Amino acid sequence: MPAEVFTIKSLLVQNTLMLGALGITIFFLIRAAWKKNRRHIIVFSIWPCLVLAFFNSPFFGFSEVRVSPQGLGINYGLLSLRNTVLPLHSDWRIQKRRAGLRKTKRLYSLVIAGKESMRVRGGRGLELLDTIGRSIDSMKAADVQE
């Protein structure tokens, strides 16, 4: 069975945000070094670490899933250290959350073996998460038959 790649949120936009944030912090670090301002060098050497920590934190979910007989490839983005391939028989579920100030918005995310995707709103987003789940189940069934 061929591999299928599902994009929950645009990986191009996510990578652009990651590289842009890192680039800005490194720019200010280089600028502080150029001006030889020790206090700014110390401050701006901490910021790239904070940017990397944010993009590797639980607040940032994965954006792309690759379903293949070899496993489930989870892609968070370029700067993520959490990109991984999970076993094909990993459990998955769709999780519903309330968001907004008055908790009136419904957001959904796909949870595969404890790893959570980016959140999407209902409608087409929920259909995409359900399609990913059905693809995982059909790949499991094809693996069992072989």
Residues in the chain, overall count: 146
Q: Check if the beta carbon of residue 108 is closer than 8 Å to that of residue 91.
A: no
Strands 71-75 and 84-86, by their bridges, are antiparallel
Residue that is written with structure tokens 């301002």 in the block: 37
Q: CA–CA distance from 7 to each of 2, 66, 93, 96 (Å)?
A: 16, 9, 17, 19
Give yes or no for residue 68 having a pLDDT over 70.
yes
Identify whether residues 42 and 89 lie together within a single domain. Answer: no
Q: Range of 45's domain?
A: 13-55
The strand pairing partners of 96, in sequence order, are 108
Identify whether residues 28 and 66 lie together within a single domain. Answer: no
Q: Name the domain count of the chain.
A: 2
* Entry pTM: 0.80
Identify whether residues 45 and 69 lie together within a single domain. Answer: no
For the segment 30-64, what is each residue's pLDDT rounded down to a tens digit? 999 999 999 999 999 999 999 999 988 888 889 99
